[in-house]
Structure 1
Amino acid sequence: EPQLKWLEVAQATELHIRKCDVAQGPEVSKLIQEATDTLGAVKGVLHAAGVLDRCSLGEMTAERLSKVCDPKAAGAWHLHEGTKASSELALFVLFSSVSATVGLAGGASYAAANAYLDGLAMWRRERPLAALSVKWGPVSEVGMTAAAGSDSHLEAMALKALSPAQVGSALRVLLTQQGPSPNIRGELMLARVDWAAFLREVGVDIPQLKDFTSRELALTGAGGAAGKASALAALS
């Protein structure tokens, strides 16, 4: 609550908070309709729902899979269905995870749900509809990483935590590159990676990644909006 109040004051904006189970299509449709009736056309969607339930494949059940996939994957689809006819929707951002690419020990359902978001974003781009799926690396201080503490699997993959400030700065840049053009990729990964350690861990010679070590050093000093945009472009 204090953070929301701060956001209202700092951004000179007005927040309307509503509860909705995004995994339930009728609830999403009702929420979108209410927002349209009271505030005007919905012009942007940021889907950040997520549940993590770690278990081995042997322990996986339909209920446990649904617990993780419904809010993230089904929720994204319901938001797509509820906004696809809007000609004013300019932003459709899905918060995916680096786990969709590198996996997550005990988190197969979570990795799969995030991979679905990536696929949905690409599918929307082909329509063409606005969409961007961002595969975030671990984030410090807030969210699942902060709640769970250190993660040996992510650490082994040489993934370092992003700060909330880095996430905010990157998101501001990404939101300006999000139109419905099918020529722009609908998914990307944004993470802090020790590429030298990553290459040692995977034990495979990947020439395309060796150059990232020098790029990382060059990007460390990039500052300002232009620097952030250049950094993102270099990672594409």
Structure 2
Amino acid sequence: MDLQLSGRRALITGGTKGIGRAIVEGFAAEGAAVGFCARTAADVEATEQNLKQHGVPALGRALDVADGAAVTNWVNDVAAEFGGIDIVVANVSALAIPDEEANWQTSFAVDMMGTVRLVNAALPHLERSSAASIVTISSVSGREVDFAAGPYGTFKAAIVQYTQGLAYQLAGKGIRANTVSPGNTFFEGGVWEGIKSGNPDLYEMAVGLNPTGKMGSPEEIANAVVFIASPAASRVSGTNLVVDGALTRGVQL
């Protein structure tokens, strides 16, 4: 299937590790130019250089998505460099799971407002695109109560609500908006690698809950994101695409 992404321009937050890095590479493999950000300058530079060595138009920026002005400047700079924006993917999460007041504040600033500010900054550019698409990354923890109930799960649920509102509000402008909700995803340096070594009982319980007997990979999540963002999914908007290997058992009606 031709996803019709060649020559398109995609922005991804949190694009140097895990799911975000896989999303960046997924768009690049389909011929899209990629702009991405992350907090660590060295990781941003290394990722950008790696992409450019493979002939991919790439532009990285070190920033914190909780800084609204920095997000807006980055979006506008990438749009100027690439001549526009077609796709934005709000991927960053603070992963602030414990039910503590500081984590509620951090989750609001990073997970929720990081998403809102990215979308608001990108909208003027998306309105000029012939294939505009917004994808937000939520989680199965936003769909049902699990060990991450609290700030993380609450704001992941809010992101789904926000995105479905966008889909309805922006449909008349030809801008699609969808959410992808990953299940447990394992990668080197990720939260589940830390849990595997630091809390093996929780790790084994989480693996055991999945009927596939394993966690997902960043590439499996990225494949879903790249498809739903692409013109090949032109009729899909307002959807929360759960990518969890049948982990969750609730029925979406």
Alignment equivalent of 1:158, drawn from 207, 210, 213: 210
Q: CA deviation at 1:73?
A: 0.5
Q: Establish whether residue 114 from structure 1 lines up as the match of residue 156 from structure 2.
A: yes
The alpha-carbon distance between structure 1 residues 148 and 70, as it changes in their structure 2 partners (threshold 3 A), is: farther
1:65 corresponds to: 104
Q: CA deviation at 1:156?
A: 6.3
Q: Establish whether residue 95 from structure 1 lines up as the match of residue 148 from structure 2.
A: no
| One-letter identity of the residue aligned with 1:79 | L
Q: TM-score, normalised by structure 1?
A: 0.69
Distance 1:53 1:22 in 2: 15
CA contact (8 A) 2:185 2:217 kept: yes
Q: How does 1:1-236 map to 2 (within 5 A)?
A: 1=43, 4-10=48-54, 12-56=55-99, 60-61=100-101, 63-86=102-125, 87=127, 88=129, 90-127=132-169, 128=171, 129-142=175-188, 143-149=190-196, 151=202, 154-155=206-207, 157-158=209-210, 160-176=214-230, 177-179=232-234, 184-193=237-246
SS at 1:17 equivalent: strand
Moved more, 14-23 or 82-91: 82-91
CA contact (8 A) 2:96 2:107 kept: yes
Structure 1, unaligned stretches of length 5 or more? 199-205, 210-234
Structure 2, unaligned stretches of length 5 or more? 1-42
Spell out, residue by residue over 1:84-128, the C-alpha distance to the aligned partner (whole angstroms, 9 max, x if none): 233216221111111001223254100111112111110111012
Moved more, 27-36 or 128-137: 27-36
CA RMSD in angstroms, aligned pairs only: 2.9
Higher strand share: 2
The alpha-carbon distance between structure 1 residues 162 and 66, as it changes in their structure 2 partners (threshold 3 A), is: same
The alpha-carbon distance between structure 1 residues 124 and 15, as it changes in their structure 2 partners (threshold 3 A), is: same
Spell out, residue by residue over 1:126-163, the C-alpha distance to the aligned partner (whole angstroms, 9 max, x if none): 01232111010111224322333254564464364112
Distance 1:39 1:66 in 2: 34
Query: Which of the two has higher C-alpha Rg?
Result: 1
1:227 corresponds to: none
Distance 1:147 1:48 in 2: 20
The alpha-carbon distance between structure 1 residues 107 and 8, as it changes in their structure 2 partners (threshold 3 A), is: farther
Q: CA deviation at 1:75?
A: 0.6
Distance 1:76 1:52 in 2: 14
Count of aligned positions: 193
Higher helix share: 1
Spell out, residue by residue over 1:66-94, the C-alpha distance to the aligned partner (whole angstroms, 9 max, x if none): 11221110011101211223321622111
Percentage identity across paired residues of the two chains: 15
The alpha-carbon distance between structure 1 residues 31 and 144, as it changes in their structure 2 partners (threshold 3 A), is: same
Distance 2:62 2:47 in 1: 18
Q: TM-score, normalised by structure 2?
A: 0.65
CA contact (8 A) 2:216 2:245 kept: yes
